[in-house]
Structure formats: structure tokens, C-alpha cells
Structure 1
Amino acid sequence: MTGSGKLGFDALNTALKAAGEDTRLRVLALLAEAELTVSELTDILDQSQPRISRHLKLLAEARLVTRYREGTWAFYRLAEAGKGADLARALLAQLDPADRIVRRDRDRLDSVRAARAAVAQAYFRRHAAEWDRIRKLHVADQAVEDAIRDALADRSFRSLLDLGTGTGRMLEMFGPAVERGLGIDMSLDMLLLARDRLERAGLRHCSVRQGDIYDLPLERDSFDAVILHQVLHFLDDGARAIAEAARVLRPGGSLLVVDFAPHEQEFLREKYAHRRLGFAPEMVNQWISAVGLEPVLFRSLPPEPGSDGKIAVSLWLACDRRALIAAKPSREVA
């Protein structure tokens, strides 16, 4: 990288060599459509796995693509930031989408997507009854989602991090309004569902990754908004999760926590791995304040009268104090 922020001669030469080969150009075009594994690219391009792996290695070294490991799988995606990403998109912008080779690869990609969606829906069907039982215990999902939208309505954000993303619903909700969305979850099965949801919604700028909520593979100050939606009750250390969420929040950014109010449904702990049976408002506010965030909203949503619901849902909204402090004149100046 040169001082001007542009690629130096050697870096540009390496990137152009990496992209300037027919298979690698086809790989770039495919990764612009979806993130894929080596085996999926092997099926689409009808080439051996070692050969595809070598091509991907060259593209990654040139910073045209990025690689993310999930268990025994590795997903590849067109680079999202940096000069390599800019170059990749500039090259692909010159590629005719109606070209015969591009169309053929896209048709095979559709087959891969269909197979992936079938696996995701099979998992969903196996667990639908469990999720429906839990949903009946609290306020309706639509009411919770409306409250989430209301809480963030006046908060401006271009990038969103969804921790414990599950099926990716938060990314689907806010994806059309942001420039970048990322979901983190430990469960490979849930990531499968989330990926399918995002692909069906056409949200190419949103992605999901396997990751540890206590040790996020992300830089400090990297997202405008962070959501923890129905996550804390699965964790043994909610304060630590909120501290890590605050670490990646930009100055002036927003943290939204959505979880159960205190309840007595002990079977959720026994059958569904809930470690905590809800949270008192002051507990979460204390965790938020302890990491330097400013609590700005608390709201409780009780179940509808006459329903099977027994659990209220709470929302906590906080903002990063650094922007507030910077905006206030000091006493000395005043």
C-alpha cells in the first residue's frame, strides 16, 4: 500500500495476476453472488478440490477474497473492505452478466443454493415444535420486533453486528437499511438457517460467521450498532458478553439488548439450556454502565392478556458515551 492509499506496483501486479486467470475470475464472479465453500466451488466449476484450493489461496493472498473457518468447513467471500476489495469489484463491474460462462456458473450456483436451503429447512422442521412452544410463553414476535424498530428508530447506523444471530432475523429486519451487516453465532446449524434467510432476502452485504461471543474476531470500534437479541439467558457470563459488545461499538454507537424478564419457567433450563431465567432491569443496566455505556431506554413488554404467555420481554438501549463527552464543552471553556 502506498502513502496515497492506492496499491503499490507489486501489490497491484500480484492482484491482477491473481484475477487474470479464467478459473480465478469465475471464482471471483461466484463469490460476488454468495459465500461458498471449497466443495461447493468444486461442484460448480467441475474441478478438483486441490486445484480450487490453490486458486483460492492466490486470491486470498492478493486480498481479493477473505476466508472464514467454521468447524471443519471454510467459507470464502469476496473481500468487503480495502483496496483489494475495490479492485475486485472494479474488475467484476466490467464482466457481462449475460455472458455464457457467467450464466452457466450462476445456474450451477442456484443448484448449490437449493441444496443448502433444503438442508436448512429440514433442520428448521425438526426443531419447529420446540421453538413454537417457547414462543407461546412470551409476547408475540411481531410486538417484540416492533419495539426493537421503535428503540432504534432515532439511532443512525450504517453497520450492524448481531451477536447470537440465530436464524438471522435481526439482519433480515435491518439489512435493507445498512451498508454492512454481520451475524455471529457458535451453532453451525443456526448459521445454516441464517445464511439461507439472508440469501433468500438478497442481502449480499450481510453475512454470518461462527465466533465466540466472549472473544469476537473483530477490531475495536468497528460497528455503529450491536444487538444482543435473546442471547444473554444462554450465557454463564452476561456481563462479559456486554463488555465485548461495547469493545466493538464505535463512539456514539448503539447497543440494544433484548431478553426475558425474570420468570419461573424452570423447564427452559432443563430442556432448552437456558442458564438464566430472565434478568432484572437494574442488573443489565449495571452491566451496561460498568463498560462505559450510557443507558438511554428500558422497556418491558408483558404477554397479551388471555394468551398462554407467562414471560415478559425487556429491552435495554444504551449508547457509547465517548461521542456525548466529546460534544459537551468543558467547564473551563464555558
Structure 2
Amino acid sequence: MSAFTEANRKAFDELATIYNTKPWQQALSAQFTKELHTRRAWLGLTANSSEGSKLLDYACGTGVVTKALGADFTTIRGIDISEKMVELYNAAAAQSSGDERPVAVVGDLLSTPHSASLAGSEWRDFDLAVICAGFHHFESPGEAVQRLVERLRPGGQLLIVDFLPFDDEVDRERKLREQMEHTHGPGHDFPDMTHTIKHSGFNEAQMSEFYTAAGLTDFGFNLAAEASSMELKNGKVERWMFFAKGRKAA
């Protein structure tokens, strides 16, 4: 695990203690859920498509994707580098109904070698793999797309949910953090996450390039119905959520 990935692991372990406790976080989770639901037809998900199908919720956090799309799949697996997030995911999954409950493990598909926990056949041949709001934290997004495509079945799909470029916001956050630490010491009201952000969002052309390089076809890209509101250390900010999909060759 690289130093940057380790910094992300520690930060999200810390964030897990207060994750989804603030109204704006709850509203953002609800927005993710609503937007994913409205794209079921766009993804080809139907009431009759769930039997035998597999969903990979990568960088799963507490399981927003699993909760939003889980009813459309028989087998659901989550992966996250944060042990604390995985604990929250599995605690929620334990309360779910159904013959096969979702399961998440600590792992990293981008590590070399891959995490040993992800070597089994249950971690391959997914019908759909989803990354929701984690892509901008990855060191090598192009490589991440390729690694996830390897886990899809022929004809399977990759969906990435993230944000359009937000460079100015990240710069302001970093400057404010430095100023606060210089004058008052580190803030304790909410974990600072700016040091975990590797890429300040992505546009449609960038996502298309990542997908094409990984051999995906049927590229699709669209935006959420409305902007996402977040309350960061520099105050309220708005970001635009996007949805990018592609299909592995059959």
C-alpha cells in the first residue's frame, strides 16, 4: 500500500466514526440513492434481471450503492481499504433480508500484488461494478478502471459516480486548513480530507478516455438532476455529480 493510499485508509477510518451523522451528509447519500434509482433502466436493470447476477460495490464505504441497487442483484460484494468502513457496511448488511446477504472485505484491487482476500472466484465475473464518490481519491484512475474491468464478466458494466472538476474548492480548502493549523491548531469538528484527494474531479472527455483505454464500449455520461451541496471547512459548496458507464466486450 502506497503512502497516499495509507493516508486515505487512516482518514476514512477516522471519518467512519461520524459518517452520515450530519444533515448535509444524509442529504448527499439520499441524492446518490435517488439518482442511482432513476438510472436503473439506463443500466439495463429490470425486475427480472436479478437472478444469478453479481454486483461489486468498490470503495464501498457504508454501502450507499448496495442499498440503492442491491435489490437488482443476487450476489453483492463490497471492497474498501478502510476497516472501519467495512465494519459499518457489514453491520448494516447483517440487518438486510434475503437468502444471500451482502458482504464486504478489506482489500485493494490497485495494490501490487492484489490483496490475497480478493483472489477467489467470488471476486470475478461481476455483472456490474460501481465506484461511488471514490474515484477522485485514487492515485491512478486509468489503472483503476482497467483493474475493475478485469473483474467484470464478458458483457458486464462499469459505473463510476463522481464529480465534475472542482479545483478551486480544493485549493481553498487546503489554504484554509493551513491557516487554521497555523493560528489555532488542527480543527476537530470534522476530519480534513483534502490531503486524500488526488484528482479534482473529471470531465466527460477524461472519463471517455479512461474507458476506451480499458477496452470498454457503449460509453454513456450524464449529470445529476441538481447540484450536490456540501458543508466543508470553507463553508457551503456545490458540486455536480456525474454518472459514467461502459461495457466490457462480450
**Which TM-score applies when normalising by structure 2?**
0.68
Would you say the 8 A contact 1:135–1:141 is kept in 2?
no
Would you say the 8 A contact 2:77–2:102 is kept in 1?
yes
What's the CA shift string for 1:1-46, capped at 9, x where partnerless?
Answer: xxxxxxxxxxxxxxxxxxxxxxxxxxxxxxxxxxxxxxxxxxxxxx
Residue 242 of structure 1: which of 145, 150, 157 is its match?
145
What's the CA shift string for 1:54-79, capped at 9, x where partnerless?
Answer: xxxxxxxxxxxxxxxxxxxxxxxxxx
SS in 1 for 2:201: coil
User: Aligned AA for 1:261?
Assistant: L
Would you say the 8 A contact 1:139–1:312 is kept in 2?
no
Change (3 A) 1:174 1:304: closer
Counterpart of 2:43? 152
What's the CA shift string for 1:206-246, capped at 9, x where partnerless?
Answer: 21011013136245852111111111111111111111000
* Greater fraction of residues in helix: 1
Gaps of 5+ in 2: 1-14, 178-191, 231-235
CA distance in 1, matches of 2:106, 2:130: 16
**How many residues are treated as equivalent by the alignment?**
200
Would you say the 8 A contact 1:139–1:309 is kept in 2?
no
CA distance in 1, matches of 2:30, 2:68: 18
> How many angstroms does 1:199 deviate by?
1.0
Residue 205 of structure 1: which of 89, 97, 101 is its match?
101
SS in 2 for 1:149: coil
Counterpart of 1:291? 214
SS in 2 for 1:151: coil
Alignment of 1:157-236 (within 5 A): 158-203=53-98, 204-214=100-110, 215=114, 217-218=118-119, 219=121, 221-236=124-139
Counterpart of 2:246? 318
Counterpart of 1:29? none
Q: Does 1:126 align with 2:34?
A: no
CA distance in 1, matches of 2:90, 2:57: 13
Q: Does 1:278 align with 2:201?
A: yes
CA distance in 2, matches of 1:314, 1:253: 20
> How many angstroms does 1:284 deviate by?
1.2
**Which TM-score applies when normalising by structure 1?**
0.52
Counterpart of 1:265? 169
Gaps of 5+ in 1: 1-122, 324-334
CA distance in 2, matches of 1:209, 1:305: 29
User: Highest CA radius of gyration, 1 or 2?
Assistant: 1
Counterpart of 1:300? 223
- Greater relative contact order structure (CA < 8 Å, 6+ sep): 2
Change (3 A) 1:292 1:189: same
SS in 2 for 1:165: coil
Change (3 A) 1:312 1:150: farther
| RMSD between superposed Cα atoms in Å | 3.2
CA distance in 1, matches of 2:33, 2:68: 12
> How many angstroms does 1:175 deviate by?
2.6
User: Aligned AA for 2:131?
Assistant: L
CA distance in 2, matches of 1:180, 1:151: 21
Would you say the 8 A contact 1:288–1:295 is kept in 2?
no
SS in 2 for 1:246: helix
SS in 2 for 1:243: helix
User: Aligned AA for 2:148?
Assistant: A
